Structure 1
Amino acid sequence: MLRTVSVASLLFPGLFALGAAGLGRARPRWTVADCVLVSARFVSSVQAVLATVSGLIVVFSCTDVITHRHWLAREYVWVLIPYMIYDTFAMYLCHWHKSNNQDQKYSLSSVKDFLRRERLMVVHHVFILVVLVPVAQYLRGELGDFFVGCIFTAELSTPFVSLGKVLIQLKLQHTLLHKVNGGLILVTFFTCRILLFPFMYWSYGRQQGLPLLQVPFHIPFFCNVANAFLIAPQLYWFTLICKKGARLFGSSPGSKER
Protein backbone atom coordinates (compact mmCIF):
# COMPACT_ATOMS: atom_id res chain seq x y z
CA MET A 1 0.00 0.00 0.00
CA LEU A 2 2.69 2.51 1.01
CA ARG A 3 4.75 1.65 -2.07
CA THR A 4 1.76 2.17 -4.38
CA VAL A 5 0.80 5.48 -2.76
CA SER A 6 4.44 6.67 -2.89
CA VAL A 7 4.89 5.77 -6.57
CA ALA A 8 1.59 7.42 -7.54
CA SER A 9 2.47 10.51 -5.47
CA LEU A 10 5.61 10.92 -7.57
CA LEU A 11 4.18 9.75 -10.90
CA PHE A 12 1.35 12.21 -11.49
CA PRO A 13 2.98 15.47 -10.31
CA GLY A 14 6.19 14.34 -12.03
CA LEU A 15 4.45 13.74 -15.35
CA PHE A 16 2.70 17.09 -15.01
CA ALA A 17 5.94 18.97 -14.35
CA LEU A 18 7.85 17.16 -17.10
CA GLY A 19 4.99 17.65 -19.54
CA ALA A 20 4.74 21.39 -18.88
CA ALA A 21 8.51 21.85 -19.12
CA GLY A 22 8.78 19.69 -22.26
CA LEU A 23 5.97 21.56 -24.00
CA GLY A 24 7.62 24.86 -23.09
CA ARG A 25 10.77 23.78 -24.93
CA ALA A 26 9.04 22.03 -27.83
CA ARG A 27 6.53 24.84 -28.36
CA PRO A 28 8.35 28.08 -27.47
CA ARG A 29 5.48 30.19 -28.81
CA TRP A 30 3.07 28.67 -26.33
CA THR A 31 2.35 30.55 -23.14
CA VAL A 32 2.90 29.02 -19.71
CA ALA A 33 -0.87 28.68 -19.42
CA ASP A 34 -1.01 26.65 -22.66
CA CYS A 35 1.71 24.28 -21.43
CA VAL A 36 0.09 23.84 -18.00
CA LEU A 37 -3.37 23.16 -19.43
CA VAL A 38 -2.19 20.61 -22.01
CA SER A 39 0.08 18.88 -19.49
CA ALA A 40 -2.76 18.57 -16.96
CA ARG A 41 -5.01 17.01 -19.58
CA PHE A 42 -2.25 14.61 -20.61
CA VAL A 43 -1.84 13.40 -17.02
CA SER A 44 -5.61 12.98 -16.70
CA SER A 45 -5.55 10.82 -19.81
CA VAL A 46 -2.69 8.70 -18.47
CA GLN A 47 -4.57 8.04 -15.24
CA ALA A 48 -7.74 7.25 -17.21
CA VAL A 49 -5.92 4.65 -19.32
CA LEU A 50 -4.39 3.04 -16.23
CA ALA A 51 -7.77 2.95 -14.47
CA THR A 52 -9.62 1.58 -17.52
CA VAL A 53 -7.09 -1.16 -18.18
CA SER A 54 -7.08 -2.12 -14.47
CA GLY A 55 -10.87 -2.18 -14.46
CA LEU A 56 -11.14 -4.35 -17.57
CA ILE A 57 -8.63 -6.83 -16.15
CA VAL A 58 -10.66 -7.09 -12.96
CA VAL A 59 -14.02 -7.37 -14.75
CA PHE A 60 -12.89 -10.13 -17.12
CA SER A 61 -11.11 -11.99 -14.31
CA CYS A 62 -14.09 -12.16 -11.94
CA THR A 63 -16.60 -14.74 -13.19
CA ASP A 64 -18.44 -14.52 -9.86
CA VAL A 65 -19.47 -10.88 -9.45
CA ILE A 66 -19.73 -11.16 -5.67
CA THR A 67 -16.97 -13.40 -4.32
CA HIS A 68 -14.18 -13.55 -6.89
CA ARG A 69 -11.09 -11.52 -6.03
CA HIS A 70 -8.43 -9.70 -8.03
CA TRP A 71 -5.55 -7.80 -6.43
CA LEU A 72 -5.92 -4.80 -8.78
CA ALA A 73 -9.40 -4.05 -7.42
CA ARG A 74 -7.86 -3.14 -4.09
CA GLU A 75 -4.41 -1.99 -5.16
CA TYR A 76 -5.49 0.59 -7.75
CA VAL A 77 -7.70 2.33 -5.20
CA TRP A 78 -4.48 3.40 -3.45
CA VAL A 79 -3.43 5.07 -6.71
CA LEU A 80 -6.58 7.17 -6.67
CA ILE A 81 -5.75 8.84 -3.34
CA PRO A 82 -2.64 10.76 -4.51
CA TYR A 83 -4.16 11.26 -7.95
CA MET A 84 -7.30 12.96 -6.63
CA ILE A 85 -5.22 15.22 -4.41
CA TYR A 86 -2.88 16.06 -7.31
CA ASP A 87 -5.76 16.57 -9.74
CA THR A 88 -7.53 19.02 -7.42
CA PHE A 89 -4.35 21.10 -7.24
CA ALA A 90 -3.81 20.81 -11.02
CA MET A 91 -7.38 21.97 -11.59
CA TYR A 92 -6.68 25.01 -9.44
CA LEU A 93 -3.50 25.82 -11.37
CA CYS A 94 -5.40 25.56 -14.66
CA HIS A 95 -8.15 27.79 -13.26
CA TRP A 96 -5.62 30.36 -12.09
CA HIS A 97 -3.79 30.42 -15.42
CA LYS A 98 -7.07 30.90 -17.30
CA SER A 99 -8.28 33.65 -14.98
CA ASN A 100 -7.57 37.34 -15.36
CA ASN A 101 -6.18 37.66 -11.82
CA GLN A 102 -2.57 36.65 -12.42
CA ASP A 103 -1.07 38.57 -9.49
CA GLN A 104 -2.35 36.63 -6.49
CA LYS A 105 -1.84 32.94 -7.17
CA TYR A 106 -2.98 31.57 -3.82
CA SER A 107 -5.14 34.42 -2.61
CA LEU A 108 -8.36 33.66 -0.77
CA SER A 109 -10.41 35.28 -3.52
CA SER A 110 -8.74 33.12 -6.17
CA VAL A 111 -9.39 29.93 -4.19
CA LYS A 112 -13.01 30.94 -3.56
CA ASP A 113 -13.52 31.63 -7.26
CA PHE A 114 -12.05 28.21 -8.11
CA LEU A 115 -14.32 26.44 -5.61
CA ARG A 116 -17.33 28.30 -6.97
CA ARG A 117 -16.62 27.48 -10.60
CA GLU A 118 -15.45 23.90 -10.07
CA ARG A 119 -17.57 23.00 -7.04
CA LEU A 120 -19.07 19.90 -8.66
CA MET A 121 -15.69 18.45 -9.61
CA VAL A 122 -14.24 19.28 -6.19
CA VAL A 123 -17.20 17.63 -4.43
CA HIS A 124 -16.77 14.64 -6.75
CA HIS A 125 -13.09 14.32 -5.77
CA VAL A 126 -13.84 14.72 -2.06
CA PHE A 127 -16.63 12.12 -2.28
CA ILE A 128 -14.21 9.62 -3.82
CA LEU A 129 -11.60 10.23 -1.11
CA VAL A 130 -13.94 10.38 1.88
CA VAL A 131 -16.59 7.81 0.90
CA LEU A 132 -15.57 5.53 -1.95
CA VAL A 133 -12.01 4.81 -0.82
CA PRO A 134 -13.05 3.62 2.69
CA VAL A 135 -15.90 1.59 1.19
CA ALA A 136 -13.69 -0.01 -1.46
CA GLN A 137 -10.82 -0.78 0.90
CA TYR A 138 -12.49 -1.66 4.19
CA LEU A 139 -16.28 -1.56 4.48
CA ARG A 140 -17.10 -3.99 1.65
CA GLY A 141 -14.94 -6.70 3.17
CA GLU A 142 -13.90 -9.42 0.73
CA LEU A 143 -16.79 -8.93 -1.70
CA GLY A 144 -17.45 -7.02 -4.91
CA ASP A 145 -14.12 -6.75 -6.76
CA PHE A 146 -16.08 -7.06 -10.02
CA PHE A 147 -18.06 -3.89 -9.26
CA VAL A 148 -14.93 -1.97 -8.26
CA GLY A 149 -13.46 -2.92 -11.63
CA CYS A 150 -16.60 -1.67 -13.35
CA ILE A 151 -16.23 1.71 -11.63
CA PHE A 152 -12.62 1.95 -12.83
CA THR A 153 -13.74 1.58 -16.47
CA ALA A 154 -15.82 4.77 -16.16
CA GLU A 155 -12.59 6.63 -16.96
CA LEU A 156 -12.63 5.46 -20.59
CA SER A 157 -14.18 8.72 -21.80
CA THR A 158 -11.59 10.95 -20.11
CA PRO A 159 -8.88 10.86 -22.84
CA PHE A 160 -11.44 11.91 -25.46
CA VAL A 161 -12.76 14.70 -23.22
CA SER A 162 -9.19 15.89 -22.66
CA LEU A 163 -8.38 15.77 -26.38
CA GLY A 164 -11.50 17.80 -27.14
CA LYS A 165 -10.42 20.51 -24.73
CA VAL A 166 -6.93 20.57 -26.20
CA LEU A 167 -8.31 20.90 -29.75
CA ILE A 168 -10.45 23.85 -28.66
CA GLN A 169 -7.44 25.39 -26.93
CA LEU A 170 -5.47 25.06 -30.19
CA LYS A 171 -8.43 26.56 -32.12
CA LEU A 172 -9.02 23.33 -34.02
CA GLN A 173 -12.66 23.02 -32.97
CA HIS A 174 -13.92 23.14 -36.57
CA THR A 175 -11.80 20.24 -37.84
CA LEU A 176 -13.04 16.77 -38.72
CA LEU A 177 -10.89 15.37 -35.89
CA HIS A 178 -12.80 17.45 -33.35
CA LYS A 179 -16.15 16.21 -34.65
CA VAL A 180 -15.03 12.58 -34.65
CA ASN A 181 -13.66 13.02 -31.15
CA GLY A 182 -16.94 14.62 -30.09
CA GLY A 183 -18.81 11.54 -31.26
CA LEU A 184 -16.41 9.30 -29.33
CA ILE A 185 -16.99 11.39 -26.21
CA LEU A 186 -20.75 10.87 -26.49
CA VAL A 187 -20.44 7.12 -27.06
CA THR A 188 -17.82 6.39 -24.40
CA PHE A 189 -19.38 8.65 -21.77
CA PHE A 190 -22.85 7.19 -22.26
CA THR A 191 -21.55 3.62 -22.32
CA CYS A 192 -19.08 3.74 -19.43
CA ARG A 193 -20.67 6.35 -17.16
CA ILE A 194 -24.40 5.92 -17.71
CA LEU A 195 -25.05 2.38 -18.99
CA LEU A 196 -22.38 1.13 -16.58
CA PHE A 197 -24.82 1.23 -13.66
CA PRO A 198 -27.64 -0.79 -15.30
CA PHE A 199 -24.92 -3.21 -16.45
CA MET A 200 -23.75 -3.77 -12.87
CA TYR A 201 -27.32 -4.37 -11.69
CA TRP A 202 -27.93 -6.70 -14.65
CA SER A 203 -24.72 -8.65 -13.93
CA TYR A 204 -25.76 -9.20 -10.33
CA GLY A 205 -29.30 -10.15 -11.36
CA ARG A 206 -28.09 -12.64 -13.96
CA GLN A 207 -25.97 -14.42 -11.38
CA GLN A 208 -28.75 -14.43 -8.78
CA GLY A 209 -31.52 -15.28 -11.21
CA LEU A 210 -33.30 -11.94 -10.73
CA PRO A 211 -34.91 -9.63 -13.30
CA LEU A 212 -33.13 -6.30 -13.65
CA LEU A 213 -35.94 -4.29 -12.04
CA GLN A 214 -35.92 -6.48 -8.92
CA VAL A 215 -32.20 -6.15 -8.25
CA PRO A 216 -32.38 -2.81 -6.34
CA PHE A 217 -34.70 -4.49 -3.79
CA HIS A 218 -32.33 -7.42 -3.20
CA ILE A 219 -29.09 -5.55 -2.52
CA PRO A 220 -28.07 -3.48 0.54
CA PHE A 221 -29.70 -0.05 0.68
CA PHE A 222 -26.37 1.77 0.91
CA CYS A 223 -25.35 0.27 -2.47
CA ASN A 224 -28.31 1.95 -4.13
CA VAL A 225 -27.52 5.23 -2.34
CA ALA A 226 -23.86 5.10 -3.37
CA ASN A 227 -24.79 4.39 -6.99
CA ALA A 228 -27.27 7.29 -6.94
CA PHE A 229 -24.56 9.66 -5.71
CA LEU A 230 -22.21 8.39 -8.41
CA ILE A 231 -24.59 8.55 -11.35
CA ALA A 232 -26.17 11.93 -10.50
CA PRO A 233 -23.18 14.06 -11.58
CA GLN A 234 -22.64 11.79 -14.59
CA LEU A 235 -26.17 12.53 -15.80
CA TYR A 236 -25.57 16.24 -15.34
CA TRP A 237 -22.26 16.15 -17.24
CA PHE A 238 -23.81 14.00 -19.97
CA THR A 239 -26.53 16.63 -20.43
CA LEU A 240 -23.83 19.28 -20.89
CA ILE A 241 -21.97 17.04 -23.34
CA CYS A 242 -25.15 16.50 -25.36
CA LYS A 243 -25.74 20.27 -25.53
CA LYS A 244 -22.18 20.85 -26.71
CA GLY A 245 -22.54 17.97 -29.18
CA ALA A 246 -25.72 19.53 -30.61
CA ARG A 247 -23.85 22.80 -31.17
CA LEU A 248 -20.83 20.98 -32.61
CA PHE A 249 -22.70 18.84 -35.14
CA GLY A 250 -25.27 21.52 -35.87
CA SER A 251 -22.76 24.27 -36.57
CA SER A 252 -21.33 25.14 -39.95
CA PRO A 253 -17.56 25.07 -40.50
CA GLY A 254 -17.42 28.86 -40.34
CA SER A 255 -19.38 29.25 -37.12
CA LYS A 256 -17.59 30.18 -33.95
CA GLU A 257 -17.31 28.05 -30.85
CA ARG A 258 -19.50 29.44 -28.10
Structure 2
Amino acid sequence: MLCMLACGGLFFPGLYCGLRRLLRASCPHWDQADVVAVSERLVSSIHASLATVCGLVVVSSIRDVMTDRHWLVNSFVVFGAPYMAFDLFAMYLTHYHQQKRLSIPDQKHSLRTVKAFLSRERLLVLHHLALLLVFMPIVLFFRRGLGDFFVACFWMTEFSTPFVSLGKVLIQLGLENSHLHWINGVMVLASFFTCRILLFPYMYWMYGRQFLVPLHRVPFHLPLHCNLGNLSILSPQVYWFGLLVKKARRLYLRKGKPHGPKTE
Protein backbone atom coordinates (compact mmCIF):
# COMPACT_ATOMS: atom_id res chain seq x y z
CA MET A 1 0.00 0.00 0.00
CA LEU A 2 2.79 2.41 0.86
CA CYS A 3 4.49 1.54 -2.42
CA MET A 4 1.35 2.47 -4.42
CA LEU A 5 0.99 5.69 -2.41
CA ALA A 6 4.60 6.62 -3.17
CA CYS A 7 4.14 5.79 -6.87
CA GLY A 8 1.10 8.06 -7.07
CA GLY A 9 2.91 10.78 -5.14
CA LEU A 10 5.74 10.72 -7.69
CA PHE A 11 3.75 10.05 -10.86
CA PHE A 12 1.21 12.90 -10.88
CA PRO A 13 3.45 15.80 -9.76
CA GLY A 14 6.23 14.47 -12.02
CA LEU A 15 3.85 14.27 -14.97
CA TYR A 16 2.65 17.82 -14.28
CA CYS A 17 6.18 19.22 -14.13
CA GLY A 18 7.17 17.33 -17.27
CA LEU A 19 4.17 18.65 -19.19
CA ARG A 20 4.90 22.22 -18.08
CA ARG A 21 8.44 21.96 -19.41
CA LEU A 22 7.26 20.38 -22.65
CA LEU A 23 4.59 23.03 -23.24
CA ARG A 24 6.97 25.85 -22.39
CA ALA A 25 9.45 24.56 -24.96
CA SER A 26 6.94 23.69 -27.70
CA CYS A 27 4.67 26.75 -27.26
CA PRO A 28 7.00 29.67 -26.49
CA HIS A 29 4.27 32.21 -27.27
CA TRP A 30 2.18 30.94 -24.33
CA ASP A 31 2.41 32.76 -21.03
CA GLN A 32 2.61 31.06 -17.64
CA ALA A 33 -1.17 31.05 -17.21
CA ASP A 34 -1.65 29.10 -20.44
CA VAL A 35 1.06 26.59 -19.57
CA VAL A 36 -0.16 25.77 -16.08
CA ALA A 37 -3.81 25.59 -17.17
CA VAL A 38 -3.17 23.13 -20.01
CA SER A 39 -0.78 21.09 -17.87
CA GLU A 40 -3.38 20.77 -15.12
CA ARG A 41 -6.07 19.71 -17.60
CA LEU A 42 -3.84 17.14 -19.27
CA VAL A 43 -2.92 15.55 -15.93
CA SER A 44 -6.61 15.57 -14.97
CA SER A 45 -7.48 13.85 -18.26
CA ILE A 46 -4.80 11.19 -17.76
CA HIS A 47 -5.99 10.46 -14.21
CA ALA A 48 -9.59 10.29 -15.43
CA SER A 49 -8.64 7.91 -18.23
CA LEU A 50 -6.80 5.62 -15.80
CA ALA A 51 -9.78 5.65 -13.43
CA THR A 52 -12.21 4.86 -16.25
CA VAL A 53 -10.13 1.95 -17.52
CA CYS A 54 -9.71 0.53 -14.01
CA GLY A 55 -13.45 0.88 -13.43
CA LEU A 56 -14.29 -0.95 -16.65
CA VAL A 57 -11.84 -3.76 -15.84
CA VAL A 58 -13.31 -4.29 -12.37
CA VAL A 59 -16.98 -4.00 -13.41
CA SER A 60 -16.53 -6.42 -16.31
CA SER A 61 -14.85 -9.03 -14.10
CA ILE A 62 -17.31 -9.03 -11.18
CA ARG A 63 -20.37 -11.27 -10.94
CA ASP A 64 -21.56 -10.71 -7.36
CA VAL A 65 -21.94 -6.95 -6.91
CA MET A 66 -21.63 -7.17 -3.13
CA THR A 67 -18.95 -9.74 -2.32
CA ASP A 68 -16.67 -10.18 -5.34
CA ARG A 69 -13.24 -8.65 -4.87
CA HIS A 70 -10.65 -7.25 -7.30
CA TRP A 71 -7.09 -6.27 -6.42
CA LEU A 72 -7.29 -3.07 -8.51
CA VAL A 73 -9.81 -1.42 -6.20
CA ASN A 74 -7.69 -0.76 -3.11
CA SER A 75 -4.53 -0.38 -5.20
CA PHE A 76 -5.90 2.36 -7.43
CA VAL A 77 -7.58 4.18 -4.54
CA VAL A 78 -4.20 4.46 -2.81
CA PHE A 79 -2.38 5.29 -6.06
CA GLY A 80 -4.90 8.03 -6.93
CA ALA A 81 -5.05 9.62 -3.47
CA PRO A 82 -1.97 11.85 -4.06
CA TYR A 83 -3.59 13.11 -7.25
CA MET A 84 -6.57 14.51 -5.32
CA ALA A 85 -4.27 16.46 -3.00
CA PHE A 86 -1.95 17.56 -5.81
CA ASP A 87 -4.80 18.63 -8.10
CA LEU A 88 -5.98 21.12 -5.49
CA PHE A 89 -2.54 22.72 -5.66
CA ALA A 90 -2.52 22.61 -9.48
CA MET A 91 -5.98 24.20 -9.65
CA TYR A 92 -4.81 26.95 -7.30
CA LEU A 93 -1.78 27.66 -9.51
CA THR A 94 -4.05 27.89 -12.57
CA HIS A 95 -6.38 30.29 -10.76
CA TYR A 96 -3.46 32.35 -9.44
CA HIS A 97 -1.74 32.83 -12.79
CA GLN A 98 -4.99 33.57 -14.63
CA GLN A 99 -5.94 36.22 -12.09
CA LYS A 100 -2.43 37.62 -12.20
CA ARG A 101 -2.68 37.98 -15.98
CA LEU A 102 -6.10 39.64 -15.82
CA SER A 103 -5.73 42.03 -12.89
CA ILE A 104 -2.51 42.41 -10.92
CA PRO A 105 0.68 41.46 -12.85
CA ASP A 106 2.94 41.78 -9.78
CA GLN A 107 0.57 39.89 -7.47
CA LYS A 108 2.22 37.46 -5.02
CA HIS A 109 0.94 34.33 -3.32
CA SER A 110 -0.91 35.28 -0.15
CA LEU A 111 -3.79 34.34 2.09
CA ARG A 112 -5.96 36.63 -0.03
CA THR A 113 -5.20 34.73 -3.25
CA VAL A 114 -5.93 31.42 -1.51
CA LYS A 115 -9.25 32.73 -0.19
CA ALA A 116 -10.18 33.99 -3.66
CA PHE A 117 -9.44 30.54 -5.10
CA LEU A 118 -11.46 28.76 -2.40
CA SER A 119 -14.38 31.13 -2.94
CA ARG A 120 -14.42 30.68 -6.70
CA GLU A 121 -13.84 26.91 -6.78
CA ARG A 122 -15.50 25.94 -3.50
CA LEU A 123 -17.60 23.14 -5.01
CA LEU A 124 -14.64 21.51 -6.75
CA VAL A 125 -12.48 21.90 -3.64
CA LEU A 126 -15.21 20.31 -1.52
CA HIS A 127 -15.49 17.49 -4.08
CA HIS A 128 -11.76 16.76 -3.91
CA LEU A 129 -11.65 16.92 -0.11
CA ALA A 130 -14.66 14.61 0.18
CA LEU A 131 -12.99 12.04 -2.07
CA LEU A 132 -9.74 12.29 -0.14
CA LEU A 133 -11.04 12.49 3.43
CA VAL A 134 -14.32 10.55 3.23
CA PHE A 135 -14.43 8.28 0.18
CA MET A 136 -10.88 6.92 0.52
CA PRO A 137 -11.09 5.94 4.23
CA ILE A 138 -14.49 4.29 3.64
CA VAL A 139 -13.15 2.25 0.72
CA LEU A 140 -9.96 1.20 2.50
CA PHE A 141 -11.07 0.67 6.09
CA PHE A 142 -14.82 0.71 6.73
CA ARG A 143 -16.63 -1.28 4.04
CA ARG A 144 -15.36 -4.70 5.21
CA GLY A 145 -14.37 -5.80 1.72
CA LEU A 146 -17.83 -5.32 0.25
CA GLY A 147 -18.88 -3.44 -2.88
CA ASP A 148 -15.84 -3.41 -5.17
CA PHE A 149 -18.34 -3.25 -8.04
CA PHE A 150 -19.81 0.04 -6.81
CA VAL A 151 -16.40 1.60 -6.16
CA ALA A 152 -15.45 0.78 -9.76
CA CYS A 153 -18.70 2.32 -11.00
CA PHE A 154 -17.81 5.58 -9.27
CA TRP A 155 -14.47 5.57 -11.09
CA MET A 156 -16.29 5.42 -14.42
CA THR A 157 -17.87 8.79 -13.69
CA GLU A 158 -14.48 10.21 -14.72
CA PHE A 159 -15.14 9.25 -18.35
CA SER A 160 -16.47 12.74 -19.10
CA THR A 161 -13.45 14.57 -17.64
CA PRO A 162 -11.17 14.41 -20.75
CA PHE A 163 -13.95 15.91 -22.89
CA VAL A 164 -14.51 18.71 -20.37
CA SER A 165 -10.77 19.42 -20.28
CA LEU A 166 -10.51 19.35 -24.08
CA GLY A 167 -13.33 21.90 -24.33
CA LYS A 168 -11.44 24.29 -22.04
CA VAL A 169 -8.23 23.83 -24.02
CA LEU A 170 -10.03 24.50 -27.32
CA ILE A 171 -11.44 27.73 -25.91
CA GLN A 172 -7.98 28.69 -24.72
CA LEU A 173 -6.66 28.10 -28.24
CA GLY A 174 -9.38 30.31 -29.72
CA LEU A 175 -11.23 27.40 -31.34
CA GLU A 176 -14.56 27.86 -29.53
CA ASN A 177 -16.35 28.34 -32.87
CA SER A 178 -14.80 25.31 -34.56
CA HIS A 179 -16.59 22.10 -35.52
CA LEU A 180 -14.27 20.20 -33.18
CA HIS A 181 -15.47 22.28 -30.23
CA TRP A 182 -19.10 21.67 -31.20
CA ILE A 183 -18.55 17.89 -31.49
CA ASN A 184 -16.67 17.87 -28.20
CA GLY A 185 -19.54 19.75 -26.55
CA VAL A 186 -21.96 17.03 -27.63
CA MET A 187 -19.58 14.41 -26.20
CA VAL A 188 -19.36 16.34 -22.92
CA LEU A 189 -23.14 16.34 -22.49
CA ALA A 190 -23.57 12.71 -23.57
CA SER A 191 -20.71 11.33 -21.47
CA PHE A 192 -21.58 13.43 -18.42
CA PHE A 193 -25.25 12.44 -18.48
CA THR A 194 -24.46 8.76 -19.08
CA CYS A 195 -21.58 8.25 -16.65
CA ARG A 196 -22.40 10.73 -13.90
CA ILE A 197 -26.19 10.59 -13.73
CA LEU A 198 -27.52 7.44 -15.40
CA LEU A 199 -24.81 5.49 -13.60
CA PHE A 200 -26.75 5.72 -10.33
CA PRO A 201 -29.96 4.01 -11.53
CA TYR A 202 -27.67 1.48 -13.28
CA MET A 203 -26.03 0.57 -9.96
CA TYR A 204 -29.43 0.23 -8.29
CA TRP A 205 -30.65 -1.89 -11.20
CA MET A 206 -27.64 -4.22 -10.96
CA TYR A 207 -28.24 -4.67 -7.24
CA GLY A 208 -31.94 -5.33 -7.83
CA ARG A 209 -31.21 -7.82 -10.61
CA GLN A 210 -28.94 -9.86 -8.35
CA PHE A 211 -31.33 -9.91 -5.40
CA LEU A 212 -34.54 -10.06 -7.49
CA VAL A 213 -35.78 -6.66 -6.31
CA PRO A 214 -37.65 -4.28 -8.69
CA LEU A 215 -35.69 -1.11 -9.42
CA HIS A 216 -38.19 1.17 -7.68
CA ARG A 217 -37.95 -0.95 -4.51
CA VAL A 218 -34.15 -1.10 -4.32
CA PRO A 219 -33.71 2.10 -2.24
CA PHE A 220 -35.93 0.57 0.46
CA HIS A 221 -33.69 -2.51 0.61
CA LEU A 222 -30.54 -0.47 1.22
CA PRO A 223 -29.37 1.16 4.47
CA LEU A 224 -30.24 4.83 4.80
CA HIS A 225 -26.59 5.89 4.81
CA CYS A 226 -26.05 4.24 1.39
CA ASN A 227 -28.93 6.20 -0.15
CA LEU A 228 -27.81 9.43 1.50
CA GLY A 229 -24.23 8.87 0.33
CA ASN A 230 -25.36 8.30 -3.26
CA LEU A 231 -27.60 11.36 -3.09
CA SER A 232 -24.74 13.51 -1.82
CA ILE A 233 -22.63 12.42 -4.79
CA LEU A 234 -25.42 12.65 -7.35
CA SER A 235 -26.61 16.14 -6.34
CA PRO A 236 -23.51 18.08 -7.49
CA GLN A 237 -23.45 16.02 -10.70
CA VAL A 238 -26.99 17.16 -11.52
CA TYR A 239 -26.01 20.74 -10.67
CA TRP A 240 -22.92 20.62 -12.93
CA PHE A 241 -24.93 19.00 -15.73
CA GLY A 242 -27.43 21.84 -15.50
CA LEU A 243 -24.59 24.35 -15.87
CA LEU A 244 -23.26 22.46 -18.90
CA VAL A 245 -26.69 22.45 -20.54
CA LYS A 246 -27.07 26.21 -19.94
CA LYS A 247 -23.63 26.86 -21.39
CA ALA A 248 -24.36 24.68 -24.43
CA ARG A 249 -27.64 26.51 -24.97
CA ARG A 250 -25.91 29.91 -24.83
CA LEU A 251 -23.28 28.79 -27.33
CA TYR A 252 -25.93 27.36 -29.65
CA LEU A 253 -28.02 30.54 -29.55
CA ARG A 254 -24.96 32.74 -30.04
CA LYS A 255 -23.85 30.66 -33.02
CA GLY A 256 -27.33 30.90 -34.54
CA LYS A 257 -27.52 34.69 -34.36
CA PRO A 258 -26.89 36.56 -37.62
CA HIS A 259 -23.65 38.53 -37.70
CA GLY A 260 -24.43 40.89 -40.58
CA PRO A 261 -25.67 44.48 -40.26
CA LYS A 262 -29.23 44.99 -39.19
CA THR A 263 -31.74 46.15 -41.84
CA GLU A 264 -34.93 47.99 -41.30
Structure with max Cα Rg: 2
Mean CA deviation greater in 152-161 or 70-79: 70-79
Amino acid at match of 2:76: Y
1:80 deviates by: 2.5
1:119 deviates by: 0.4
- The answer to whether structure 1 residue 194 and structure 2 residue 197 are counterparts is yes
CA distance in 1, matches of 2:204, 2:122: 29
Distance 1:143 1:19, change over 3 A: same
> Which residue is equivalent to 2:262?
none
Contact 1:194 1:235 in 2 (8 A): yes
Amino acid at match of 1:197: F
Matches for 1:174-213 after TM superposition, within 5 Å: 174-213=177-216
> Which residue is equivalent to 2:251?
248
1:213 deviates by: 1.1
Map Cα deviations across residues 121-153 of structure 1 (whole Å, 9 max, x no partner). 011111111111111111111110000000000
Q: Name the SS of the counterpart of 1:151 in structure 2.
A: helix
Stretches of structure 1 lacking an aligned partner (at least 5 in a row) = none
1:82 deviates by: 0.3
Identity %: 52
Contact 1:179 1:248 in 2 (8 A): no
> Which residue is equivalent to 1:215?
218
Map Cα deviations across residues 209-254 of structure 1 (whole Å, 9 max, x no partner). 0011111111111111110110111111000000111122333278
What is the TM-score with the length of structure 2 in the denominator?
0.94
Amino acid at match of 1:108: L
Distance 1:29 1:143, change over 3 A: same
Q: Name the SS of the counterpart of 1:188 in structure 2.
A: helix
Contact 1:54 1:72 in 2 (8 A): yes
Map Cα deviations across residues 45-99 of structure 1 (whole Å, 9 max, x no partner). 0000000000000100111111111011111111221000000000000000110
Counterpart selection for 2:238 from 235, 240, 249:
235
> Which residue is equivalent to 2:5?
5
> Which residue is equivalent to 1:162?
165
Stretches of structure 2 lacking an aligned partner (at least 5 in a row) = 260-264
Mean CA deviation greater in 180-189 or 243-252: 243-252
What is the TM-score with the length of structure 1 in the denominator?
0.96
1:107 deviates by: 0.4
CA distance in 2, matches of 1:19, 1:105: 24
> Which residue is equivalent to 2:24?
24
CA distance in 2, matches of 1:39, 1:27: 12
> Which residue is equivalent to 2:129?
126
Q: Tell me how large the CA RMSD over aligned residues is.
A: 1.4
Count matched residues.
256
1:27 deviates by: 0.8
